[in-house]
Structure 1
Amino acid sequence: MTTDTVASAVIETEEQRALRAAVAALGKRYGREYFAAVTREGKHTDELWREAGKLGYLGVNLPEEYGGGGGGIAELSIVLEELGAAGCPLLMMVVSPAICGTVIARFGTEAQQRAWLPGLADGTLKMAFGITEPDAGSNSHRITTTARRDGAGQDADWLLTGRKVFVSGVDIADATLIVGRTEVTSTDGAKTGKLKPCLFIVPRDAPGFSRSHIAMELAAPEKQFELVIDEVRLPAEALVGDADAGLLQLFAGLNPERIMTAAFALGMGRYALSKAVDYARTRQVWKDPIGAHQAIAHPLAQAHIELELARLMMQKAAYLYDAGDDMGAGEAANMAKYAAAEAAVKAVDQAVHTLGGNGLTSEYGLATLITAARVARIAPVSREMILNYVSHQSLGLPKSY
């Protein structure tokens, strides 16, 4: 793939520009006040989710034959970015249509696709995603949630046991896509003692599947949970895709997760920057508005530049992923997530500084973003692990672990 091809890919099509404008208009009708109100009241963004679903925005990346828009992660990232820029991001978009919808669309059976994709596309169904464990953290090789067959043959039930933490939206999801591990068998059917990753759809009300809320210093409608999975019995068809291709299927969902996290961060950064710019244009302490002073203007200009650069990397990552280049998308998605998170944190910090004391008031609504912006730095993977990835995979440097 030439540089010119990638460069032209980041110039949005007429359809993508129209989608961006339409979603921005939807976001403006709800806005930050709506988002803050539902968060304060302990509710969820149900009204916005339903309307976005009816308008087809939640499923723009899913196949048309199952009610989706037939687009890709490029289009879905536009939706999340614009809602975020309006002050009302939908975090479950990262999980439900982006991770779970993508994995099921690419690797699920026809029955799984029929059962889940139409609902994920129109928003009537939601799915959570569970990968992180208390003792594994960023080391997915230490995942201990294990599935074993209860009987012989491909039709035997699975028994799933383990724990997951920091799972978003389990309380509002119809099911959770759980990353587990199964035993590897040799060609003669003997167990080797090794484990391989596999993905399972676990219904919310499955016996043995319980959740507990994790209290967070984070103002968001979506709650975080710890899951206990105690010998949960699942039918054979709960396994998504091929049991021998679990790692490929897992990363098929993690690349969109990183791209969508970048979109989430970019929207947040744009929202904060717009508030700061409006304030700097009108706030007058001396002869001219404070935005006339370079000490205010230059950091805001720098924040804008860094957000735009991060968006270009996000668009490149989405293009590569949608073109089927999983390897290239992996590098770009990690870089996009890193760049967008750093840009968002800087934009929020500068916005708060621009407003001074007003930056910490409830009236202007920027203070809650100080914590929220840092989520993109640590989830779904920390910036340090991204730097590890780039140093090893891109630069060819040796590992220290």
Structure 2
Amino acid sequence: MARLLSDAVALTERQQLVRSNIREICADFDREYWRRRADEGAYPKEFVDALADHGWMGILLPAEYGGAGMGTRETVVMMEEIAANGGGFSAAQAVHGGVYNSVPIVEYASEEIKDDLLPDVAAGETSIQAFGLTEPNAGSDSTAIETRAQKEGDEYVINGQKIWTSRVDVSDYIVLVARTTPRADVDKRTRGISMFLVDLADAHEQGALEMEPIPKSASDFVHSFELWFDDLRVPESNLIGVEGDGFYQVLDGLNEERLVIAAECIGLGRLALERAVEYATDREVFDRPIGTNQAIQHPLAEAYARLQAAKQLTYNAADRAASDEDVDLGAYANAAKFLAADAAYEAADAAVQTHGGFGIATEYDVERYFREARLTRLVPITQQLALNYIGENVLGLSRSY
């Protein structure tokens, strides 16, 4: 069966090259591979290594550091194809941090850090898979973080707690966000936040890091952790950018990353829909394929239409991001994420319903897609926060939070 939505948008020659190469890599990892990873809760190291061997972990890194020097237009293709070709949203998330957590290094870190670290990241020899921001008392309100980094001589001493920090177990470094000035002492709550590059092996050697996995029902092979930092000493040279400007550094590039999340949702929706169509074509009841029935056809057709619309918006926004146009990329990014997450959820729900009782059987995979699709409506922001942005910044309504 032709890949659903594969021709939904016109691709540049470079985008076509990305799609072709990623599909070739994904072809070596079949459904059984991803099913085993999910059953065992095992990180797909072989898959990530294959991507790294072909240079794709450095897709956003400049050529001067050994990267591919590509941008958002190419990354949306890469991540959609990873999700669509067997692994789903979890497969994309297994890679996502390694691709995006190096972006603040490129933009803000010292030349010494960039020269020492980025070529190894591009080569897949070093990973920056973890990003430490969310805290128990600071979820969507990132300015409320309480983790504290205090300057002592030529070091920062960090104390605090993080939660929902993913891929720490497969990362060499974590980009850690902490307050260098307490919230009560700044004139604007977005001030006084800083970013640090933390060597995780060094943190463990200091005995300054404890980590506990968080049991969860989605993204089985991408593990999330609760972290505690106790007098972690970080060299002053590992400060990323300007002290106190970390919040703005986090925001920089956030909209483009959100478009890539939307593409991952679309890929998951494609995968769920393709499996549903396959089953509806093969499964016969009352001497005919169940796909003959409108009760099966219509939800799948509607899911296709929703995914088509979400993909058009996402790719159009990626084109805008690569242009010199003065556009509100936040409006595009939040709308794309909202529509793509809902489209993925509807596609996965329709896939489960199409399979009937087998929809909850792990051997058919669609129950995993459904759990992942539900997750996409929560991360990296909830659907409600995406609507808040549109309501306030596009429609001009009063701030609601």
Q: What is the TM-score with the length of structure 1 in the denominator?
A: 0.89
Residue 167 (structure 2) pairs with residue 169 (structure 1): yes
Give the aligned CA root-mean-square deviation in angstroms. 2.3
Per-residue Cα deviation, 1:310-347 (whole angstroms, up to 9, x for no partner): 12222233334444779732222222211111111100
Residue 266 of structure 1: aligned partner:
266
Tell me if the contact between 2:84 and 2:270 (Cα under 8 Å) persists in the aligned partners. yes
Matched with 2:137 is 135
Alpha carbons of 1:246 and 1:378: their partners in 2 closer, same or farther (altered >3 Å)?
A: same
Question: Within 5 A, what are the aligned runs for 1:167-316?
Answer: 167-183=165-181, 195-205=191-201, 206=203, 207=206, 208-316=208-316
CA shift, 1:390, in A, is 1.0
- Structure 1 residue 29 displacement after superposition: 1.9
Q: Comparing 43-52 with 291-300, which one deviates more in the overlay? A: 291-300
Distance across 2 between alignment mates of 1:108 and 1:323: 25
CA apart distance, 1:296 = 1.5
2:20 matches 1:18: no
SS in 1 for 2:114: helix
Paired with 1:329 and 1:234, the residues of 2 have a C-alpha distance of 35
Secondary structure, in 3 states, of the residue corresponding to 2:363? Answer: coil
Q: Does the 8 Å contact 1:94/1:257 carry over to 2?
A: no
Please tell me the residue identity of whatever aligns with 2:14.
E
Query: Conserved in 1, the CA contact under 8 Å of 2:277 and 2:300?
Result: yes
Aligned partners of 2:54 and 2:156: how far apart in 1?
38
Structure 1 unmatched runs, 5+: 1-9
For residue 95 of structure 1, what is the aligned residue in structure 2? 97
Q: Compute the displacement of 1:376 (Å).
A: 0.8
Map of 1:4 onto structure 2: none
- Is the 2:143–2:247 contact (alpha carbons within 8 Å) kept by the matching residues of 1? no
In 2, distance between residues paired with 1:133 and 1:218? 20
Q: For residue 118 of structure 1, report the CA deviation from its aligned partner.
A: 2.1
Deviation at 1:260, TM superposition (A): 2.6
Query: What is aligned with 1:66?
Result: 65
Distance 1:240 1:322, change over 3 A: farther
CA–CA distance in structure 2, aligned partners of residues 76 and 176 of structure 1: 22
Deviations 1:137-181 (A, max 9, x none): 111121111222113xxxx21112221100111011101101112
In 1, Cα distance between equivalents of 2:397 and 2:188: 31
TM-superposed CA distance for 1:392, in Å, is 0.8
Q: Which runs of 4+ in 1 moved over 6 A?
A: 190-194, 324-327
Contact 1:97 1:120 in 2 (8 A): no
Percent of paired sites with the same residue: 35
Structure 1 241/370 Cα, relative in aligned 2: closer, same or farther at 3 Å? same
Partner of 1:150: 152
Any gaps of 5 or more consecutive residues in structure 2? 1-8
CA displacement 1:182-209 (0-9 Å, x = unmatched): 2289xxxx98797422111111121312
- How far apart, CA to CA, are the structure 1 residues paired with 2:388 and 2:161? 26
Normalising to structure 2: TM-score of the pair?
0.89
Deviates more, 1:63-72 or 1:360-369: 360-369
Task: Give the letter for the 2:107 counterpart.
Answer: R
In 2, Cα distance between equivalents of 1:282 and 1:322: 43
Quick one: structure 1 residues 122 and 220, their matched pair in 2 at CA, closer, same or farther if it must change by over 3 Å?
A: farther
Counting matched residue pairs gives: 383
